[in-house]
Chains A and B, each alone.
Chain A
Amino acid sequence: MLEKLPTASIGSVNAAERYDWDALVQEDRVHRLIYTDPAIFEAELTNIWGAVWVYLGHDSQIPNNNDFITTKLGLRPIILIRDSAGKIRALFNRCTHRGTTLCRKERGNAHMFTCPYHGWSYLSTGKLRAVPWPDGYACDFKDAKFNVAQVPRVDSYRGFIFGTLNPDAPPLIDYLGGITGPIDEWLDRNPGGKVEVCEANRLKYRGNWKLAYDNSGDGYHVVFSHRSLLEMENRLADEANKGMSYYKGSPDSKAMYMRYTGNGHHFKDKRPNIEKRAGGLWAVEGPAPGSEHIEADFRRRFGARADDILDLAGSEPVNINVFPNLSLLGNHIQVFDPVSVDETDVTWFGTRVVDADGTLGDALGEINALRMRTQEQFPNFGEVDDLANFEEIQRGLACLEDEWVYMHRGLGIPGRIKTDAKGEVTAPATDEAFMREYIHEWKRLMKASPKLVVQREV
């Protein structure tokens, strides 16, 4: 049994009333304040990072009972734990006594947490277990208010774990809606339809978190922001077809497309640009440490099957963006974490292939090693340049009198953007249609007055 308690809202910003949101977010442009105003950021911590389903972590990071990782929901420190009965919980990493964090490790296995400050201890369910010298207290420690606060709704979709503090949010599956199709395809290209999270390329930039989400589906920036990467990865190629080379020339006439699937989620599908055959993906993968050796070795050992295996080290050409903080691209699980109005962590978790039914046999270790190397390429040689550009946007937005940021590419051109019966919007790859759609969803959320709650074991 769990008791629901409203979170104290004394002093919190009533975002709905504070701004004229329709003035800040217009059809073709947004005001600089949405990236620079600390009060808007503060409001987002409730209206976005709390009121919607936020990605917290992956099943494979906590495979066993009592396994935990520490993470964040907005700025709230969270212990994401599979409790001793196997239930996944997102505990506030906050002692109910005086508020210190209970756990300072990044990961581990624990059936209880003992507060370092005065020794109160809690079970992995969040329930208070004991306090030192209880005869000094007149209260009843069985009162639920002494159990650790936790995220009332935690749910997962195929290994991706989300949480929300909003009792009125739709079920996770409805929130994800049409974006589950691309997620399924992204997983199902791996043996058993599964991946395992491994270490990450961890980056940060001095800029608002939405700059990263604006960019997550942006096909317009590729040949400019990533020019050094494209030149680099094609420097030795006979045919300049490596990586995202298909953006060169006239990208909007290519078969790739951008689709907005609702609730802030969107999907850039570049797969139609790649030859649809075994080995098609591997053929356009840029050079990586070990490439030629493993390719030759696999062709000798596995014959025609080698292409299928090599494709597992190729970067899947999709961007699957789940509002507000999850992005699946290539083989990465990328997570956006706000730190402050102008600081954001961007963590590129790598993924490994798992081969539960043994179809890969002794190729597993080698294909994963190669997959590590292909995954290191983009954060090293691509993402760093985007992050530099995000920082320079934040700097540019200090021009107080130049108020507007435009996202109107594709807007108003007859026949260019198509909306289907389900309401999904499809546009050419360089269009900013997805940006306009998601930022209008953001506006809708910012106008709302969600009543967030935590719960505690009783």
Chain B
Amino acid sequence: MQPARDPSLTSYYVTDTFYRALVASFADWQRDDRAVTDVAERERFRALIEREARLLDQLNFDDWLAMYAPECIYWVPGTPDGGDPRREIAISFDDRRRMEDRIYRLRTGYAWSQAPKSRTVRMVSNVEVFKTASADRRMVRSNFLISEFRPDGIRFLSGWCGHRFVECNGRWDIEVRQVNLIDCDQNLRNPSIVI
């Protein structure tokens, strides 16, 4: 569904109701009784998540953004349980405009934390798909390991993602991606890549 106002330019969708629904949908969702067992369906989401990882490794941000619904959230909590973004600072909590800000900044040539740019390789695995109360939404859990090279060495970022997908015109878009670093509540060195 196309929103009334362009979410790349203005932010009208991050409302109290939106936050409430967001927090609710990321609570208690990894339930065995909702797990999708159909292999084809699980493969479909696994392919989407692998593609997203590749696009980020390739710094192909335009195609990456195009995988997202118009009104979307990129969320990196600063607390291991995700927390409530209305009351807590997150490492990142971007709506579409701020995701575009993030990319814009990285492309200015003056983002010193990414000069030179990190080289990354992402592994994703352990993909599990869960039904939700609405037929056009799925929740997907996956684990990741990012190897990040900068001139002073290689480091690893690891954790798991919770994706909320929405079906729109026969295609599945990412509505929310919650990135849970295992060390999210620790002091992090140079967290300037899109994780």
| Given known contacts A200-B78, A290-B95, A372 and B89 CB-to-CB distance under 8 angstroms | yes
Identify which of B86, B102, B115, B186 contacts A368 (C-beta below 8 A). B86
Most buried by B among A231, A232, A352: A232
Q: How far is the CA of A352 from the CA of B88 in the complex (A)?
A: 9
| Given known contacts A201-B89, A365-B16, A206 and B10 CB-to-CB distance under 8 angstroms | no
| Given known contacts A368-B87, A384-B192, A232 and B12 CB-to-CB distance under 8 angstroms | no
Is residue A345 within 8 Å, beta carbon to beta carbon, of the partner chain?
A: yes
Q: Which of A38-46, A262-270, A315-323, A375-383 contacts B (4 or more CB under 8 A)?
A: A375-383
Q: How far is the CA of A199 from the CA of B85 in the complex (A)?
A: 10
| Given known contacts A202-B185, A228-B111, A290-B95, A387 and B190 CB-to-CB distance under 8 angstroms | yes
Query: Across the interface, do B189 and A204 meet the contact criterion of CB distance under 8 Å?
Result: yes
Residues of B within 8 A of A369 (CB): 16, 19, 85-87
Query: Across the interface, do B14 and A290 meet the contact criterion of CB distance under 8 Å?
Result: yes
Query: Across the interface, do B108 and A227 meet the contact criterion of CB distance under 8 Å?
Result: yes
| Given known contacts A228-B105, A287-B101, A288-B11, A202 and B186 CB-to-CB distance under 8 angstroms | yes
Is residue A326 within 8 Å, beta carbon to beta carbon, of the partner chain?
A: no
Total residue contacts A-B, CB cutoff 8 A:
142
Which DSSP category, helix, strand, loop or mixed, fits chain A's interface? helix
Residues of B within 8 A of A366 (CB): 16
Identify which of B11, B104, B191, B192 contacts A289 (C-beta below 8 A). B11
Is residue B94 within 8 Å, beta carbon to beta carbon, of the partner chain?
A: yes
Complex: chain B residue closest to A370, CB-CB: B14
Query: Across the interface, do B89 and A389 meet the contact criterion of CB distance under 8 Å?
Result: no
Is residue A307 within 8 Å, beta carbon to beta carbon, of the partner chain?
A: no
Query: Across the interface, do A350 and B192 meet the contact criterion of CB distance under 8 Å?
Result: no
Query: Across the interface, do A225 and B112 meet the contact criterion of CB distance under 8 Å?
Result: yes
Number of interface residues of B (CB under 8 A): 46
Number of interface residues of A (CB under 8 A): 50
| Given known contacts A292-B12, A376-B90, A199 and B111 CB-to-CB distance under 8 angstroms | no
Chain A positions 121-158 with a Cβ under 8 Å from a chain B Cβ = none
Complex: chain B residue closest to A106, CB-CB: B185
Is residue A304 within 8 Å, beta carbon to beta carbon, of the partner chain?
A: no
Residues of B within 8 A of A206 (CB): 189
* Chain A min CB distance to B118 (Å): 11
Is residue B79 within 8 Å, beta carbon to beta carbon, of the partner chain?
A: yes
Query: Across the interface, do A292 and B11 meet the contact criterion of CB distance under 8 Å?
Result: yes
Query: Across the interface, do A388 and B113 meet the contact criterion of CB distance under 8 Å?
Result: yes
- 12 contacts across the A-B interface (CB closer than 8 A): A106-B185, A201-B89, A204-B189, A228-B105, A231-B105, A236-B97, A289-B95, A289-B98, A348-B89, A365-B16, A387-B190, A388-B115
* CB-based closest 9 A-B pairs: A290-B14, A350-B89, A289-B95, A384-B113, A227-B110, A369-B86, A204-B187, A228-B110, A202-B187
Question: CB within 8 Å of B: which residues of A?
Answer: 106, 198-206, 225, 227-229, 231-233, 235-236, 287-293, 296-297, 345-350, 352, 365-366, 368-369, 372-373, 375-376, 380-381, 384-385, 387-389
Question: CB within 8 Å of A: which residues of B?
Answer: 9-16, 19, 73, 78-79, 83, 85-95, 97-98, 101-102, 104-106, 108-113, 115, 185-192
